Chains A and B, each alone.
Chain A
Amino acid sequence: MKIRGKVWKYGDEIDTDIIYPGKYLVSFDPSEAGLHAMEGIESDFCKKISKGDVLVVGKNFGSGSAREQAAVALKSAGIGAVIAETFPRTFYRNAINVGLPVVEIKGIKGKVDEKDEIEVDLDKGVIKNLTQGKEDTFPPQPPFLMEILKMGGAIPYYKKKTRR
């Protein structure tokens, strides 16, 4: 499973209120969620990015609330993957559960620049910076999480598992 796109960089401690403000919690419509992605610090985020673009962020991305809409909003806006220094467990699980690839790489912020073109190979655990001609590795997800991602989320995965 490969993701290729342009890099959008943000700092540390981007919390779920920034990614998806609380006033929109009444809605569970993914396309509506996408319209409000990152609204706390960036207006019209979904119009600025292209499908498959990659967020490269700092420590503790998605901290705070357990709201799954934060992960849904990014995916629905078109984000192909999020690479962070660290993730809190809840956001990490939510992202995989909705089929949004997440990768933890220490020091990633220093290795890519905004607008760089990168390619993330989730199976091999390789990230290629196509603009700078550099490469980095990361430990791939355990097989069952890779399967969840490939199936597009936890629900199709469990549906298949419970049907067996």
Chain B
Amino acid sequence: MGMNITEKILAQASGQASCAPGEIVEVRVDVVMLHDIGTPGIQNPLKELGVDKLPPSVEVVIIPDHFAPAPTVKAAENLKLTREFAKKHHIKSYYELGRGGICHQIMPEKGHVKPGQVIVAPDSHTTTYGAFGAYATGLGVTDTAIALGIGKLWFKVPPTVKVILRGKTGPAISAKDISLFLLKELNSEDVLNRALEFEGEIIERMSVDGRMCLCDMAAEMGAENCIIPPDRTTLDYLKERVKTPFSTLSSDADAVYEKKVEFDLSALEPQVACPPTPSNVKRAREMEKVKIDQAFLGSCTNGRMEDLRIAAQILKNEKVHSDVRLIITPASQEIYLQAMKEGLLEIFVNAGGSITSPTCGICFGGHSGLLAPGEVCISSSNRNFIGRMGSPKAEIYLASPATVVASAIEGKISDPRDRMRKGGLR
């Protein structure tokens, strides 16, 4: 009987010829990523485990991004601890403020993600690295400390749901709209704790930026991991960034799936997730009466070049509505610089947008753009939970970068296709 790509990675990493859903396997962990919440969090468990030296088999990458730059003294203490931990353990891959950015962008950007690897981190959006054919999943700090200290961790092999995306989407439709559409359409009980494997023409044509967005949003679908078997697009991206050899895996033709679902997305319209869950999704067109106070473009979901480019196309020669604050957070220093070179930052500033340094702060309600009671925000990030971006009495709508900036101009939720047609975009 054949295996799918997730099963193959878990079998390979546990030294077995094969494995099947439901089986508990002890897996060798290739990479552990830590940020400035995870690093302080693993200190006690590591100490109690008696781990003084980290096993050399595990690649460790440390990326301070959540409370960076530090908004409080307590956060500064955590960042200091994170820095000192990296020094103590001679971690070469430590990305200081100003040299890194948001962890889930930095990991692949700096070549720390390879197909076929097992990658864990104390962060739910670790699923993002499945865009490169890795088994990547988020864990709590105790599991992370065990993976880091022992180099191995148990997993229950998840059943896999294959999602086949067919058709050709319109020019205003991004991977975010597809993710939100899937959040609405997929039965949450069918995908909870499952591996999601994507294929189809939509995926074949999708950029690396888009694939990362989709795999990032799989965390909201409740998936254990999300995976796109590597293809030419993956390899083209990786060859610029990964310096060491790797091999790619793919699913067997007779691999077993718990379920297969198929969607034709040719008629897909811009989507918006309404409060208070990412699965409460409607068409942007239906929500156009909702006035907004803040618009946020950024996060590990949508702070990449593709996102900034479409935003700049829509914002060019336009102004953000007088009642709206637009906050833009490039996901990394590399993206920040590229956006500068392409003149995108100038467009954002001229439009009245506020650009922050790469950070997770706004998305998770940590700092740099919290909401007051009664305020409404449209955001390109991943969660609209109660209190996610500040006051529990604020409301968050999730949408694509195009919808976020079109809404920022209009002062209310807006289908970006109107502006894109008017501006002669595409």
The interface residues of chain A lying within 8 Å CB-to-CB of B72 are 26
Docked pose: A49 CA to B359 CA in angstroms: 37
Return B182 CB to nearest CB of chain A, in Å: 16
User: Who on chain B is nearest to A142 by CB?
Assistant: B24
Is B392 close to A, CB under 8 A? yes
Return A96 CB to nearest CB of chain B, in Å: 9
User: Who on chain B is nearest to A15 by CB?
Assistant: B385
Docked pose: A83 CA to B192 CA in angstroms: 17
The interface residues of chain A lying within 8 Å CB-to-CB of B139 are 66, 90, 93
Q: Quick check: A26 and B67 within 8 Å, CB to CB?
A: yes
Among A13, A22, A89, A154, point to the contact of B366 (Cβ < 8 A): A22
A66-B123 CB under 8 A given contacts A22-B366, A60-B192? yes
Q: Quick check: B66 and A17 within 8 Å, CB to CB?
A: no
Q: Quick check: A154 and B387 within 8 Å, CB to CB?
A: no
User: Who on chain A is nearest to B392 by CB?
Assistant: A40
Known: A40-B385, A66-B123. 9 other contacts (CB 8 A): A26-B72, A28-B44, A60-B192, A89-B156, A89-B193, A93-B139, A97-B143, A98-B140, A155-B48
The interface residues of chain B lying within 8 Å CB-to-CB of A59 are 188-189
Docked pose: A39 CA to B44 CA in angstroms: 25
Q: Quick check: A90 and B142 within 8 Å, CB to CB?
A: no
Q: Quick check: A162 and B150 within 8 Å, CB to CB?
A: yes
Q: Residues 6-49 of chain A: 1 if any B CB is under 8 Å from the residue's CB, otherwise 0?
A: 00000001010110011101111000000000011100000000
The interface residues of chain A lying within 8 Å CB-to-CB of B164 are none
The interface residues of chain A lying within 8 Å CB-to-CB of B141 are 28, 68
Q: Quick check: B386 and A41 within 8 Å, CB to CB?
A: yes
Return B275 CB to nearest CB of chain A, in Å: 12
Q: Quick check: B386 and A40 within 8 Å, CB to CB?
A: yes
Q: Could you list 6 A-B pairs, sorted by A, with CB under 8 Å?
A: A18-B385, A59-B189, A63-B222, A66-B122, A93-B140, A154-B142
- Chain B residues close to A by CB (< 8 Å): 24, 37, 40-41, 43-45, 48-50, 66-67, 72, 74-75, 78, 122-124, 126, 138-143, 145-146, 150, 156, 158, 188-189, 192-193, 219-220, 222, 224, 277, 364-366, 383, 385-388, 392
Is A107 close to B, CB under 8 A? no
Q: Number of residues in A with C-beta < 8 Å to the partner? A: 39
The interface residues of chain B lying within 8 Å CB-to-CB of A64 are 124, 219-220, 383, 385
The interface residues of chain B lying within 8 Å CB-to-CB of A138 are none
Docked pose: A36 CA to B143 CA in angstroms: 23
Q: Quick check: A93 and B150 within 8 Å, CB to CB?
A: no
The interface residues of chain A lying within 8 Å CB-to-CB of B277 are 13, 15
User: Who on chain B is nearest to A86 by CB?
Assistant: B192
Highest count of chain A CB atoms <10 Å: which of B40, B192, B385, B388? B385
Is A153 close to B, CB under 8 A? yes
Q: Residues 92-131 of chain A: 1 if any B CB is under 8 Å from the residue's CB, otherwise 0?
A: 0110011000000000000000000000000000000000
Docked pose: A88 CA to B74 CA in angstroms: 30
User: Who on chain A is nearest to B50 by CB?
Assistant: A159
Q: Quick check: B192 and A23 within 8 Å, CB to CB?
A: no
Q: Quick check: B146 and A158 within 8 Å, CB to CB?
A: yes
Docked pose: A23 CA to B389 CA in angstroms: 9
A23-B366 CB under 8 A given contacts A71-B140, A158-B150? yes
Return B54 CB to nearest CB of chain A, in Å: 14
Give 9 nearest A-B pairs by CB, closest first. Answer: A68-B140, A94-B140, A66-B138, A97-B142, A17-B385, A22-B364, A66-B124, A22-B365, A89-B193
The interface residues of chain B lying within 8 Å CB-to-CB of A50 are none
The interface residues of chain A lying within 8 Å CB-to-CB of B43 are 28
Return B366 CB to nearest CB of chain A, in Å: 6
Is A150 close to B, CB under 8 A? no
Docked pose: A156 CA to B146 CA in angstroms: 11
Docked pose: A5 CA to B385 CA in angstroms: 29
Return B123 CB to nearest CB of chain A, in Å: 6
Docked pose: A22 CA to B391 CA in angstroms: 11
